[in-house]
Every structure is written in structure tokens, then in C-alpha cells.
Chain A
Amino acid sequence: MGKKLNEIFASQFQSFENRLNGEKQMPVHKLRKDAFEALQSTGLPDNKNEEYRFTRLTTLLERSFNLSQQNPEQSLTKDQIDGRMMKDIDGSSLVFLNGVYSKEQSVIASEHQDITIDSLQDAIKYDSECFEHYFNKTKSYGNDGFLSWNTAFTETGVKISVESNRTYEKPIVLNFITDATGQQFIGNPRILIQIGENSEITFLENFKTIGDFPAFNNLALEIISEKASRVKYIKIQDDGDNTIHMSNSMVYQTDACNVSMFAFTFSGKMVRNNLNVVVDGEGCEANMYGLYLLNGTTHADNHTVVDHRKPNSVSNELYKGILDDKSRGVFNGKIYVRQLAQKTNAFQSNNNILLSNDATINTKPQLEIWADDVKCSHGCTTGQLDDEQLFYLRSRGIDKDRAIGILLQAFANDIFDKTPVKELRSYLEEIVMDRLN
């Protein structure tokens, strides 16, 4: 992260501002400016940064991208787009082309008609009051350079508001289709979701890149979960080999909320997920599940933080990884229990299986506790498949590869079992079976 990068950002921000015209007067722009200042002073994290020790994202970006280049207009055909959608899932399907919400391509299920779905630009323009109330509410999370970058250049993405007292059976799928057919793409999409009191809904996030040029999506997701709401958010990362995905997900929980976050990582060049959950209410439940099934040279890094600020809440975390070839998995789970948060129960577990000697796992489960009346634990294991279990299967006439497949699937099933959407479960199982055979 040199001076050079700062200059690039400065000139980009300048031209971004010029393009905005009147919007510069809006309060949201103040937030952008603050984020820009933060980005200029902290820069993107380099490999001396403890949080990015194993994930040299900035170096990779500088090497793979021409950061000062402008993004092209997307030029995707309908067929190309259709081919990348999450199929077989009964629900609404939102389409984002290079981060821009495309109403024409999106299909809203009848059940979801009363949900407000606006492109971020519209939300900024027409619903600024509500927008400002929720936007960047969770920014207290440290000074991650990538988050500052996203906030400074916030323009594309979506804002979704769910009214109070609604229960939706079907999921909303967010399909982000990136065009890297002609040249590289760098995007800063932003998703803002607000769930009203006592409502229940499920989201599914799907990022796909078309084309072989390098693509970088620097996503920021905010979920504000009002009293007694139930939210499930599922990320599926199965993107191209030249794609880098960075995501900062921030979840803010008030009283009696139940939020479950899922992260499935299958491919991509480098994937980094920052998941920050703030439990700022009593009687909450936060669940975080992750599965990374990696091969090739894929690098997947999950950094999660759950911050218990109020008493009587529960958090569960289970991340599992299967690493093959030259892949690398990084896991860092932090549990903070503040002094006020008495009677907190927080559990965290990370299990890994290495299938190759070239694969690497760096894991760091971390507890920071300031309250005494709590039950917190973390566990972490790394190993290979049990020879005895393999022998058991083989002695019953199952060949070795198949036996390995069965054991690995059983390992992954702990996560699949928790996955809410039925069609999704079979979709995921298919990916895993394909991979393992």
C-alpha cells in the first residue's frame, strides 16, 4: 500500500464526486467523505496487518489489476445472464449487473410484493431519511480499509426493507452478475437490509463472473434486525478462477432477534469474508455457519466477530473446511463478551480436513471475555480422514474414492443440515458430490 494507491483513490474519488452533481449536498455524501478520509489515512491493509497476515489481498490486487482503470459498461446478453442465475429455487430473483440493480431482469414473487426493494441510487435519492437512519449504522467495526473503500464509493447495490410482522416462506435470491468479458472489473456493491419487528425472511446471495478477465467485488452488507425478527442469510461463493471476492458483512441485532448467517465457499482466486455480528439486545440468538471446500489454489479466509454487548444471549458458530491441492484456508473467530453481557453463552467450533500436503490451514479461534457469569468455549481441530473409518467402508466393498466421498460428505452434512432452503440443500450437495468424485 504505497503512496501510489492513495493517489489513485484520490483521483477516482474526485471524478466520482464530479459525476454526482447535486447528490454531493446530501448527508450521505458526508459519510462517503469520512470513509474516503479514513481510507486515505489507513490505506488498504498490508500483510503487516494482523487481520490480513495470511491474506495478502492488497498485494494481489496491485499485481492483478490496473487500479486506475475505469470500469466498462456491461454488455451481457440475456442468455449469458440466465445461465448464471440460481436455478430451481422457488422465490424472488433479483439481478444485479456489475452491481447495478436491474428491475427488468428481476422477478419478484407474489409473496414478496410488499417488500420495498430499491436500487441504492434510488434509495439515496428518494428515501434519504430512511436510508440515513440505517446506512452505515454498524460502521463502528474497526477501520477495515476495504470497508472504507466501499463506503467512500457507495453507489451501486440495493436497499431492502421488510415491514413488521410478516413471515415469508420463500427466499429472496440476490444474483450479482459481473461482466469481465472485455476487461477487468472492480466493483463496490452495497447491500442494506432492514427487517421490521417480528418478521421472518431468508436471503440468498450468489456472485457470478462472466469472462476470464480478473474481477474484484468489494462487497459490504448491512443487516439491521429489529426486535424479535428472524433472518437467515446465505452466501454462496462459487465464482471464477480469476475472481477475488471481499465481503464485509455487518449484522446488528436488537432484542430477541434470531439471525443465522451461512457462508459456503467453493471456488474463486481469493475469498475473504469479514462477518461482524453485534448482539445489542437481550434474548438474542446468533448462528454462524460456514463451509469451505477448496481445491486448486483457492484461498478462502473467514474472519468472524461476534460482539455480545447485552446480557442473556446465545451465539453458536460452526465452520468446517476441506482443503485439497494447493488451497489455503484461514479462519479467525472472535468472541467478545462485554462486561454488561452477563449470562452469555457463546460457542465456537472450527474443524478442518486436509487432503493434500500442499494445502495449508491457519486458524485462530479467539475469546475475549470481560464478564464473569458466562459460558464460552471454542474448539478447533485439524486432521485427515480416519484410517479406521476408511477401512470399515472398504471392508464392505466400497472403493477408496467413494469411501472418501462418503466420509467427507458426512463431515459437510453438519452444515448442510442447518441450511434452511430445501432446494438449496440439494444444490449444495450436488456441488460437493461433483467435487469429491
Chain B
Amino acid sequence: MSKDAAILDQITSSEYKYGFESNIDSESAPMGLNEETVRFISAKKEEPEWLLEWRLKAYRHWLTLKEPTWANIKHPPIDYQGIIYYSAPKKKITLDSLDDVDPELRETFKKLGISLDEQKRLTGVAVDAVLDSVSVATTFKDKLGELGIIFCSFSEAVKEHPDLIKKYLGSVVPINDNYFSALNSAVFSDGSFCYIPKGVRCPMELSTYFRINAANTGQFERTLIIADEGSYVSYLEGCTAPMRDENQLHAAVVEIFAAKDAEVKYSTVQNWYPGSKEGKGGIYNFVTKRGICSGDNAKISWTQVETGSAITWKYPSCILKGNNSIGEFYSVAVTNNYQQADTGTKMIHIGKNTKSRIVSKGISAGKSQNSYRGQVRVMRKAENARNYSQCDSLLMGDQCGAHTFPYIDIDNKSAHVEHEATTSKIGEDQIFYCNQRGIATEDAVALIVNGYAKEVLNQLPMEFAVEAQKLLALTLEGSVG
């Protein structure tokens, strides 16, 4: 037992690896939120009138809402007037070549292990790097352009493809969807936009790195992915944030629209600052992610590895509207110290022969609370809907908690819905088995945890899977006995 204690102690002392702050001058909106702030952001981004109106509508709606309290999380009240809603790097960056990118920024990326030139040379991944609220570098654009794929920052898309934005913005997550999506709609600063034309299979993984940089800046990203008929895209999102003492709010919105026969794979590795081991600081990650399989045979697959953030509130969902459409959700959520996660998914079956699959693996350590909250809804007309859900929780130490809240609502008799959940700790017999074969306890734990999460990690694209495995090991460094 003393070894357990020692190992548990060790994990709590592992420091946040990506804690640093880069000094780029930024131009910020005054602190606080009112109509002026919304107008300021819109003006800064030189947005058309209709978008400003849209933002104002969202803002006015947000005023009528109350912060939701149903999630299994606890935090001091958020002071929405104490946040700077817009900050942009001051130097205008031209994107003719990578050499034009601010050297300091490139240094930042290097520390993160995603140096642009390396990416370009080795991995074949087009990176639309987002630092704070403005996209500063876009690569591989030409190559994608040849195929008709649009992959750019959100504000660029507003200027260059207003029709698409007007048509799809808010079509999956309407402004009145929930408290945080309304807030995001009012003040979103930037994000990524992606359009895959009919029948095109995107030849590379599209990826975006988000970073929250300047102090006290809430980051309100807006991502919109449109996959037209018969297209395919795999989209990656990865996050790390520098160390901070004050809590930072992140309320992003991701919308995915999949037309007939389209397939979208959205993968996330989230490693924002989780707060100190005393539970001080850390990111509040309140995200609304939703995709709609609008046409027949469409498929949306969410994969997430959540290791960071003080509080995670996130339910990537699929609306399965088209017949034969498929929704998938694979998740590994790790909480340690005082982290809290309330995450899961919603699968709404509307079309006939729709299928969904949920695999959620929770790992709680330290004094953290980890909740799975999900809904499977089969509407009355959804003939032959199928769902399989599996939520497993692994507990490390007796100070943490694991919770499961699955909602299953069925209105059609032909539905076939299964849900399974288990909670346990790593078996002493498993450890013993490894020890017997000369594997040290700590390695055995890493081995077992990796095996436990394998089903989800396997869903990640190669380059992400490696990073995710590293993160998992890092977060749970020597955590159990």
C-alpha cells in the first residue's frame, strides 16, 4: 500500500509540460461584455452587416438565459464581465511563405512540437494554426485549392465565401441552442472553416492547433465543416495552453454538416492547462460540438482524448437525419488532481436504418470527478435504429469519483439499443501477472491503461495516436499501484 501512496504522490507532482507564455503584442477589446463589445469584434473583423445582426441576436438571446447547473461540476461563478473577448496578434502576417511568420510564434510552435516547416516537410498535414483568436498561418492551401477544398480561417471564409457561411452558420448549432453556444455566437473571434466539394476525398488530415495565449482572454472558436455529397475528410484538433493562475473560459462551437454519402472524422486531443495540483487555475472548457448527417448514408465520427482543462463540459453529438446514416463517438477522458469532466455524447436517430456506436473510457485519479453523460434518442419514425454504447470507468485511488448518466429514450419498437457500463480499478491480479513476468508495477499500469484505452486510441489518425499515448502516460505518470 505504501508503494501505492508513493506512486500516487508522484503523479500529483508531475508538472504541466506545456506551460509557457509567448510574448506577442496583442490588440485587445476592453474587458467586459455588452453590445459594444460585440460591435467592436464585428468591426475589427470587418464583417458584413448580416453577421453583426446575427451576433447581436445571439447576444440578446444570451442575456435571457441562465447558466446551466445540471452538469456534475462545481466551480465558482464565472464573471462574464471580467473577460477580454477579443485579442489579436498586432503584427499583420502575410502568408506568402513560412519565413514570414513571426519568429517568436514559430518558436512557440516548436516548443509545442508542431513546427510548421517540419509539419510541411514530413507529415503531409496542412496546419491552420490558430494562436489566440486570429489564424496566423495557413499551409498547403494551394494543394487543397486544386481539389476545390476550402480550408481557411473563419474570418477569411466570411469575406471570401459569404454564401456558404450564411447558409450553414448556425444550421447545426443554432444561436439559441444553449447558454455557451449563444455566448459563442455573440462573441466568436475566429476559427476554422472547411468545405469539401462533391465527391472529393481530402488527401490529407486537416488539422488545427488551438492555443490560448494572452492572459484573461477567453477563446471563442467557431469551426464549421461542410462535407458535400460523397466527400470525405478527416479533421484534427489539438490543444495545449500555457500555465495560468486565473481560470480561463473557453466556449467553442463546432458544427459539422455531412451531406449524402459524405463522411467526416473529427479527432480531438485536448491538453489544456488542468490547474495546479491544489486545484487552482486551469481552463474551463465548455464546448458545444454537433454534427448532422443530413443526407442518406452519411457518417460522422467523433474521437476525443481529453486529458486537460480544469473543467470539461462537452458533448459531441450526431443528428442522424439521413437514412442509413452512422454516428460514432469514441472518447478517453482522464481526470487527475481536482479536474472535473462531464462529457459524453448525444445520438439522435431520425432516419431509417441509422446506426450509432458509443465507446467511452473514463479514467479518474487524484481527487477528480469524471462523469459520462449521454443520450440515445430514437424518434418514432426511425425504423431499425441500432445503437451500442459502452462506458467504462477506471478508478485510481479512493478520493476520486466516476459517474455515469446515460439517457435512453426510445419511441420506435424496431430499435435495438444496448448500453453497458462498468466501473472498476486495475486488478491486483493483472498487476501481479505483469510483475511475475518482470514488468515493474509502474510499467504494468501504463500497459494496462493503454490497453484499456486502445479501442479509442486506435480510432485516432497515426500522428495523433502517438501524441495521445504520450499524453495519457504523462497525465497518469506513475499513478497507480
| Minimal beta-carbon separation of B479 from chain A (angstroms) | 12
Q: Per-residue 0/1 for A384-422: is the Cβ within 8 Å of any B Cβ (1 yes, 0 no)?
A: 100000000000000000000000000000000000000
Q: List the A side residues contacting B423 at CB < 8 Å.
A: 367, 369, 374-377
Most chain A Cβ neighbours within 10 Å, of B410, B417, B418: B410
Closest-by-CB residue of A relative to B428 is A373
| Minimal beta-carbon separation of A342 from chain B (angstroms) | 7
Closest-by-CB residue of B relative to A342 is B398
Does the CB pair A355–B419 fall under 8 Å? Answer: no
| Minimal beta-carbon separation of A5 from chain B (angstroms) | 25
Does the CB pair B409–A360 fall under 8 Å? Answer: yes
- Of B393, B396, B404, B417, the residue contacting A382 (CB under 8 A) is B417
Report B380-426 residues with CB < 8 Å from chain A CB. Answer: 380, 393, 395-425
Task: Say if the beta carbon of B50 comes within 8 Å of chain A.
Answer: no
Task: Say if the beta carbon of A21 comes within 8 Å of chain B.
Answer: no
The complex places the Cα of A339 from the Cα of B367 at a distance, in Å, of: 12
The complex places the Cα of A280 from the Cα of B393 at a distance, in Å, of: 25
The complex places the Cα of A373 from the Cα of B480 at a distance, in Å, of: 13
The complex places the Cα of A339 from the Cα of B402 at a distance, in Å, of: 11
- Of A369, A374, A382, the residue contacting B403 (CB under 8 A) is A369
Q: A377-B421, A380-B418 are in contact. Are A371 and B398 (CB under 8 A)?
A: yes
Does the CB pair B420–A376 fall under 8 Å? Answer: no
- Of B400, B405, B417, B420, the residue contacting A383 (CB under 8 A) is B417
Interface size class for chain A?
20 to 34
| Minimal beta-carbon separation of B382 from chain A (angstroms) | 10
| Minimal beta-carbon separation of A348 from chain B (angstroms) | 9
Task: Say if the beta carbon of A368 comes within 8 Å of chain B.
Answer: yes
Q: List the A side residues contacting B380 at CB < 8 Å.
A: 357
Task: Say if the beta carbon of A16 comes within 8 Å of chain B.
Answer: no
Does the CB pair B424–A375 fall under 8 Å? Answer: yes
Q: List the B side residues contacting A359 at CB < 8 Å.
A: 413
Q: List the B side residues contacting A50 at CB < 8 Å.
A: 70
Closest-by-CB residue of A relative to B371 is A368
Q: List the B side residues contacting A228 at CB < 8 Å.
A: none
Does the CB pair B408–A364 fall under 8 Å? Answer: yes
Q: List the A side residues contacting B420 at CB < 8 Å.
A: 377-380
Task: Say if the beta carbon of A296 comes within 8 Å of chain B.
Answer: no
Q: Per-residue 0/1 for A62-90: is the Cβ within 8 Å of any B Cβ (1 yes, 0 no)?
A: 00000000000000000000000000000
- Of A356, A369, A380, the residue contacting B402 (CB under 8 A) is A369
Q: List the A side residues contacting B417 at CB < 8 Å.
A: 380-383
Does the CB pair A361–B408 fall under 8 Å? Answer: yes
Report B40-61 residues with CB < 8 Å from chain A CB. Answer: none
Most chain B Cβ neighbours within 10 Å, of A359, A369, A372, A374: A372
Task: Say if the beta carbon of A199 comes within 8 Å of chain B.
Answer: no
Closest-by-CB residue of A relative to B420 is A379
Does the CB pair B407–A379 fall under 8 Å? Answer: no
Does the CB pair A372–B413 fall under 8 Å? Answer: no
Does the CB pair B408–A377 fall under 8 Å? Answer: no
| Minimal beta-carbon separation of A389 from chain B (angstroms) | 14
Task: Say if the beta carbon of A58 comes within 8 Å of chain B.
Answer: no
Task: Say if the beta carbon of A352 comes within 8 Å of chain B.
Answer: yes
Q: List the A side residues contacting B424 at CB < 8 Å.
A: 374-376
Closest-by-CB residue of A relative to B72 is A368
Q: List the A side residues contacting B400 at CB < 8 Å.
A: 370, 372
The complex places the Cα of A379 from the Cα of B391 at a distance, in Å, of: 10
| Minimal beta-carbon separation of A174 from chain B (angstroms) | 34
Closest-by-CB residue of A relative to B421 is A378
Q: A357-B380, A374-B424 are in contact. Are A380 and B419 (CB under 8 A)?
A: yes
Task: Say if the beta carbon of A363 comes within 8 Å of chain B.
Answer: yes
Task: Say if the beta carbon of A305 comes within 8 Å of chain B.
Answer: no
Does the CB pair A366–B404 fall under 8 Å? Answer: yes
The complex places the Cα of A382 from the Cα of B418 at a distance, in Å, of: 6
Does the CB pair B414–A362 fall under 8 Å? Answer: no
| Minimal beta-carbon separation of B418 from chain A (angstroms) | 5
Does the CB pair B418–A381 fall under 8 Å? Answer: yes
- Of B403, B407, B425, the residue contacting A372 (CB under 8 A) is B425
Does the CB pair A354–B404 fall under 8 Å? Answer: no
| Minimal beta-carbon separation of A315 from chain B (angstroms) | 13
| Minimal beta-carbon separation of B388 from chain A (angstroms) | 10
Q: List the A side residues contacting B405 at CB < 8 Å.
A: 364, 366
The complex places the Cα of A365 from the Cα of B419 at a distance, in Å, of: 9
Does the CB pair B404–A373 fall under 8 Å? Answer: no
The complex places the Cα of A374 from the Cα of B425 at a distance, in Å, of: 7
Q: List the B side residues contacting A363 at CB < 8 Å.
A: 407-410
| Minimal beta-carbon separation of A388 from chain B (angstroms) | 13
Does the CB pair B410–A372 fall under 8 Å? Answer: no
Closest-by-CB residue of B relative to A370 is B401
The complex places the Cα of A376 from the Cα of B392 at a distance, in Å, of: 10
Closest-by-CB residue of B relative to A366 is B405
Closest-by-CB residue of A relative to B422 is A377
Does the CB pair B422–A364 fall under 8 Å? Answer: no
Does the CB pair B398–A382 fall under 8 Å? Answer: no
Does the CB pair B407–A362 fall under 8 Å? Answer: yes
The complex places the Cα of A396 from the Cα of B423 at a distance, in Å, of: 44
Does the CB pair A382–B421 fall under 8 Å? Answer: no
- Of A367, A370, A382, the residue contacting B415 (CB under 8 A) is A382
| Minimal beta-carbon separation of A311 from chain B (angstroms) | 11
Does the CB pair B419–A384 fall under 8 Å? Answer: no
- Of A342, A365, A371, A382, the residue contacting B416 (CB under 8 A) is A382
- Of B401, B403, B406, the residue contacting A380 (CB under 8 A) is B406
| Minimal beta-carbon separation of B349 from chain A (angstroms) | 12
Q: List the B side residues contacting A373 at CB < 8 Å.
A: 398, 425
Q: Per-residue 0/1 for B276-314: is the Cβ within 8 Å of any A Cβ (1 yes, 0 no)?
A: 000000000000000000000000000000000000000
The complex places the Cα of A373 from the Cα of B393 at a distance, in Å, of: 12
Q: Per-residue 0/1 for B419-438: is the Cβ within 8 Å of any A Cβ (1 yes, 0 no)?
A: 11111110000000000000
Report A317-371 residues with CB < 8 Å from chain B CB. Answer: 339, 342, 352, 354-357, 359-371
Q: Per-residue 0/1 for B104-136: is the Cβ within 8 Å of any A Cβ (1 yes, 0 no)?
A: 000000000000000000000000000000000
Q: List the A side residues contacting B408 at CB < 8 Å.
A: 361-364, 380, 382
Closest-by-CB residue of A relative to B383 is A357
Does the CB pair A357–B418 fall under 8 Å? Answer: no
The complex places the Cα of A65 from the Cα of B468 at a distance, in Å, of: 59
The complex places the Cα of A383 from the Cα of B396 at a distance, in Å, of: 35
Q: List the A side residues contacting B393 at CB < 8 Å.
A: 367, 369
- Of B70, B397, B410, B411, the residue contacting A352 (CB under 8 A) is B410
Most chain A Cβ neighbours within 10 Å, of B404, B410, B413: B413
| Minimal beta-carbon separation of B307 from chain A (angstroms) | 20
Does the CB pair B418–A362 fall under 8 Å? Answer: no
The complex places the Cα of A356 from the Cα of B406 at a distance, in Å, of: 23
Q: A368-B403, A369-B403, A382-B417 are in contact. Are A354 and B410 (CB under 8 A)?
A: yes
The complex places the Cα of A378 from the Cα of B396 at a distance, in Å, of: 20
Known: A365-B406, A367-B403. 4 other contacts (CB 8 A): A354-B410, A375-B422, A379-B420, A384-B413
- A sample of 23 inter-chain contacts (CB < 8 A) reads A339-B398, A342-B398, A352-B410, A354-B410, A354-B413, A357-B411, A360-B409, A362-B408, A362-B409, A363-B408, A363-B410, A364-B408, A372-B395, A372-B398, A372-B425, A375-B422, A376-B423, A378-B404, A379-B419, A380-B408, A381-B419, A383-B415, A383-B416
The 7 closest A-B pairs by CB, nearest first: A354-B413, A372-B395, A380-B419, A367-B404, A376-B423, A377-B422, A382-B417
